[in-house]
Amino acid sequence: MTVTRFAPSPTGYLHIGGLRTALFSWLTAQHDKGEFLLRIEDTDMARNSEEAKDAILKAFEWVGMSHDGEVVYQSKRFSLYTKYINQLLAEGKAYKCYMSKEELSILREEQMAKKERTRYDGRYRDFEGTAQEGVEPVIRIKAPQEGTISFKDGVKGEINIASSEVDDFVIARADGSPTYNFVVAIDDALMGLTQVIRGDDHLYNTPKQIVVYEALGLNIPDFYHVAMINNEQGKKLSKRDGATDVMDYKTMGYLPEALLNFLVRLGWSHGDQEIFSLAEMIALFEPQNINKSSSNYNLDKLLWLNAYYIKNSSDEALISLLKDFGVDLTANPKASVLLNATKERAKTLVELSAQIKLIAIAPTAYDEKSTKKAFKGEAKAILSTFADMLMLASPTSKEAYHSVMEKIVAEKEIGFGKIGMPLRVSLLGSMTGSGLDEIMFILGVEETIARIDKAIASIG
């Protein structure tokens, strides 16, 4: 059975790039009807935070990617790791290293000076004398000293790294706590991972982890290293490039399905298809089709997708989503018309709520440019006549409002713009926005006339 995982360290919020790798893993598991596990990598006690962990879990909940089984915390598995460390020590596959941090940094400086890749020189690998006093040893694993470490990456193909590039790295710190590359290999194996899908910043960790798998005789999963997401200029994505926290997208009014659709198309595609429902993604996604090259983050496409998903969301869904944006349409009998009038011109829920508020709240100011253009000549007289006609007709449908407009256009022998422009400014305060007949229907006769009167009175 396919088993994949996402394994964040709880040192901050869930990053947009992290969400994409998680999505790829999640989709792989769903596609194969396997399991998607979540593991919190909290071996570094100094840097972990409970809030960060909760934030990550919350982000997963928001996008609707659920994990199977219990969340695994590495901090709760230390005794397990210690057991393996002792085993390797007993088997002579790992050893205590008494090199001090100072000595290490001197070694590094020397190597830098010689323009070499910095690495531990293995000086305690076969050490048998008496340990020097005052240095608590770290434990290093014996990595192969000759040949190459090879593995097949599902994305990048065959990867060969010379053993000389991989040193005897630390598997347990001086205080006895295990390190990242050691515990990752153990957990991935013990959790039954079949495919490890992760960012390609881990590519160089893979040979190290293979050393661990082999020393412990554990099964090696298939690896898929996904290239990073960069900013639009192709540079590393940073906070300056806009939102990197997944939850920021919620507050900015994005729908989770739009975000996931956007992310799945970064580094993956299926022919010419752009829109993928969750079900389609699951049916079509296969990790072998992930692209090798890194992709650039581009907000325009996300906005377009978000607009698409807003336009195609049901009224009920939108009403529920809008509650977080200060708009409650639950009891509004005209909610459907209101949403129809607004959802085609909103790219985000923030914009949608603004559109709705624009209609719901009478304008307190009128856009200067618009008034200048709309309120010249006969405008006030036409508006006033129109108000009278509305009163008389008291329309009760969108169409009926439209008829009144048609009537005044015919009677006064004017173009639609002559009534449309000043009316729009009166109702909304500017010359952009939804259809007038819809707006008037939503407002009702009384409010429509009130806004017209107010505009006539206050526009000089």
Site for RNA in 232-261 (CB under 7 A): 232, 234-236
- The total of other beta-carbon atoms located within 10 Å of residue 82's CB is 14
Site mask for RNA (CB under 7 A), range 212-231, x = bound: ---------------xx-x-
In the complex, least distance from residue 164 CB atom to RNA, rounded to whole angstroms:
9
Which of 360, 431, 456, 459 is in the footprint of RNA by CB under 7 A? 431
Which of 31, 119, 412, 454 is in the footprint of RNA by CB under 7 A? 119
CB burial string 292-313: b at 16+ within 10 A, e below: eeebebeeeebbebbbbbbeeb
Decide whether 86 or 289 has the Cβ nearer to RNA: 289
In the complex, least distance from residue 137 CB atom to RNA, rounded to whole angstroms:
8
Closest CA to 318 of 355, 363, 264, 360: 355
Phi/psi at 432 (nearest 5 deg)?
A: -120, 160
Cα gap 211→323, rounded to integer Å: 53
Residue 153's DSSP bridge partners are 157, 223
Closest CA to 263 of 324, 321, 306, 313: 306
Decide whether 32 or 153 has the Cβ nearer to RNA: 153
Decide whether 58 or 173 has the Cβ nearer to RNA: 173
Pick out residues in 28-67 that bind RNA (CB under 7 A). 41-44, 47
Decide whether 180 or 249 has the Cβ nearer to RNA: 180
Cα gap 263→24, rounded to integer Å: 9
Decide whether 228 or 362 has the Cβ nearer to RNA: 228
Decide whether 34 or 156 has the Cβ nearer to RNA: 156
Site mask for RNA (CB under 7 A), range 278-297, x = bound: -----------x-xxxxxx-
Pick out residues in 160-179 that bind RNA (CB under 7 A). 160-162, 165, 169-170, 173-175, 179
- The total of other beta-carbon atoms located within 10 Å of residue 55's CB is 18
Question: Does residue 142 interact with RNA by CB under 7 A?
Answer: no
Residue 224, amino acid: Y
Question: Does residue 304 interact with RNA by CB under 7 A?
Answer: yes
Question: Does residue 22 interact with RNA by CB under 7 A?
Answer: no
In the complex, least distance from residue 203 CB atom to RNA, rounded to whole angstroms:
5
In the complex, least distance from residue 54 CB atom to RNA, rounded to whole angstroms:
17
Closest CA to 357 of 394, 375, 390, 332: 332
Pick out residues in 75-104 that bind RNA (CB under 7 A). 99-101, 104
Decide whether 34 or 108 has the Cβ nearer to RNA: 108
Question: Does residue 303 interact with RNA by CB under 7 A?
Answer: yes
Decide whether 136 or 328 has the Cβ nearer to RNA: 136
Can you list the alpha helix ranges (DSSP code H) found in 265-397?
Answer: 278-284, 299-311, 315-322, 335-342, 349-360, 368-374, 379-393
In the complex, least distance from residue 305 CB atom to RNA, rounded to whole angstroms:
8
The region of 21-29, 130-138, 322-330, 444-452 touching RNA under the rule CB under 7 A is: 130-138
Which of 50, 133, 272, 368 is in the footprint of RNA by CB under 7 A? 272
Closest CA to 137 of 87, 106, 175, 105: 175
CB burial string 6-17: b at 16+ within 10 A, e below: bbbbbebbbbbb
C-alpha triplet 380, 385, 388: angle, nearest 5°: 130
Which of 35, 188, 257, 437 is in the footprint of RNA by CB under 7 A? 437
Query: Residues binding RNA: what is the number (CB under 7 A)?
Result: 87
Would you state the structure tokens that stand for residue 83, as one six-digit string? 């057991």
Would you state the structure tokens that stand for residue 21, as one six-digit string? 């790798």
Decide whether 323 or 376 has the Cβ nearer to RNA: 376
Which of 36, 180, 254, 276 is in the footprint of RNA by CB under 7 A? 180
Decide whether 41 or 188 has the Cβ nearer to RNA: 41
Separation in Å, CA 257 to CA 21, 22, 112, 149, 281? 16, 15, 48, 40, 11
Three-state SS annotation for 178-212: ECHHHHHHHHHHHCCCCEEEEEHHHCCHHHHHHHH
Phi/psi at 96 (nearest 5 deg)?
A: -85, 135
In the complex, least distance from residue 351 CB atom to RNA, rounded to whole angstroms:
9
